[in-house]
Amino acid sequence: MPLLASEDYIRDPSEIYRRSFATIEAEADLDRLPAPLRPVAIRLIHACGMVDLVDDLIFDDRVVTAGRAALGTGKPILVDAEMVSRGIIPGLMPQKNRVICMLNDPKVPDLARDMGTTRSAAAVELWRNVLDGAVVAIGNAPTALFHLLEILAEPGAPMPAAILGFPVGFVGARESKDLLATEAKALGLPFLAVRGRRGGSAMAAAAVNALAKLEKGDLERASDSTRMHPALGDDLP
């Protein structure tokens, strides 16, 4: 006997999407967040299925504006894991922004041994030439976030536009995000993170996608507003 009759579940993707977001808006306490951050929070909740995530979000109020601006001007997105890069939707990127993951760079294994650290942290070391003004999304390794903060503490270090910190796990995840909150404030860096052990590649990618979708939508609306009505014969291509 089937556990669920075929007619008892929703198959229409549009209806699934609509109900999912309606449920999030009904159950999550989004009012405690600044208005610009709410669409990003909704995407994060959708990625993990936990409406109480709102209670654990920590952030700088400028993170949405800063992240959108960086994406809107074509800055790259630096990620710590291939899973994050796979979750970022190319079609949402407002300027076909590059997604850079250095984890599988051939220099990383030797560099990790020399540094006495993880491959994830060693990969971050290779971000130095592309870090300035970039959007950073960490969704896996606490050591990647720790090493990023070590780099940013150096005099004259290149500064990213925004850090989306979602390392996950039982060793170092909580501590790395607590340190992010402290150091980002000291450095004046916009950031978004989730307290505690929760996180993951899906959340990091969802945050990037949300910022990109917001920025691309505004750019497209601005472009449309400059077009003359077709009846006037001056519609732009």
CA distance 97 to 188: 24
Instruction: Report residue 194: phi and psi, to 5°.
Output: -120, 125
3-state secondary structure of 194: strand
78, two tokens: 């630096």
CA distance 23 to 215: 25
| Count of CB atoms situated within 10 Å of the CB of 166 | 29
121, two tokens: 């942290």
CB 69 within 8 A of CB 77: no
Assess whether 229 carries a catalytic annotation.
no
Phi-psi region of 5 (alpha: psi -120 to 50; beta: other; left: phi over 0): beta
Phi-psi region of 142 (alpha: psi -120 to 50; beta: other; left: phi over 0): alpha
CB 157 within 8 A of CB 123: no
Given the residues 20, 23, 39, 46, the one annotated as active site = 46
CA distance 182 to 66: 18
Q: List the catalytic residues.
A: 46
